[in-house]
Amino acid sequence: MMMTAWFGQAAADEGSAGSSARALLILRILAYDHNLQKRAGQRVTVLVLYRSQDVSSVRVRDEVLASLTQVQRIKVAGLPISVVAAPFGDGRALESRLAQARPSAVFVCPGLEGDVGIISAVTRKSGVLSFSTSERDVRGGLSVGILRDEQKHRILINVPAARAEGSRFDAGLLQLATLIGGATP
């Protein structure tokens, strides 16, 4: 019940506050992954993946980077947060970038819809939890969607994708989310 109120409150104000709400939801969802500390090491890093030639993708990258940077003082599972961005080129380059940055999560910006299959294959191989704001992306293989519905955010979890990326979510989060693709992770 308390989490329901928090999610509703976090999403109450859209506009510039909408990006902040999304950033807080990413961190909150990560906190409910029982395998986070195993993946994170010394810090929780979120890599923002975008298409450099796509204006919408670059705009969302900037919003997510700014929002996550503003909340860097928050700790997730007792760990500090860092945020980095990388343009998407191809699967090989993404795999190399994930090995270098060692992120706990990848936020996939708009403009990469045609590459979701490649991105999800790499995140699964690397054990990195994937996020998007597109239901289509989540149904296409990414793990977590943070979707905007009227005055609140809705969480969509692709259960097989989350499992394949090494996630094990807390029951409290699973009760609040819409689950697709099978039983709970």
Check residue 152 and give its pLDDT.
85
pLDDT above 50 for 54:
yes
Report yes or no on 44 lying in a domain: yes
Report yes or no on 185 lying in a domain: no
Number of domains in the chain: 1
pLDDT tens sequence across 160-178 = 999 999 999 999 999 999 9
pLDDT above 60 for 22:
yes
Check residue 14 and give its pLDDT.
42
Report yes or no on 119 lying in a domain: yes
Check residue 8 and give its pLDDT.
41
Strand partners, 145: 132, 156
pLDDT tens sequence across 105-155 = 999 999 999 999 999 999 999 999 999 999 999 999 999 999 987 778 899
Host domain of residue 59:
2-8+16-180
Report yes or no on 162 lying in a domain: yes
Check residue 12 and give its pLDDT.
36
pLDDT tens sequence across 73-109 = 899 999 999 999 999 999 999 999 999 999 999 999 9
CATH number of the domain where residue 71 is located: 3.40.50.2300
Check residue 18 and give its pLDDT.
67
Amino acid at 133: T
pLDDT above 70 for 46:
yes
Report yes or no on 143 lying in a domain: yes
Reported confidence tier of residue 13, pLDDT bands at 50, 70, 90: very low
Give mean pLDDT, residues 16-30: 85
Check residue 15 and give its pLDDT.
47
> Quick one: which of 46, 76, 45, 40 has its CA closest to 61?
46
Three-state secondary structure string covering the chain: CHHHHHHHHHCCCCCHHHHHHHHHHHHHHHHCECCHHHHHCCCEEEEEEECCCCHHHHHHHHHHHHHHHHCCCCCECCECEEEEEEECCCHHHHHHHHHHHCCCEEEECCCCHHHHHHHHHHHHHHCCEEEECCHHHHHCCCCEEEEEECCEEEEEEEHHHHHHCCCCECHHHHHHCEEECCCCC
Give mean pLDDT, residues 38-64: 95
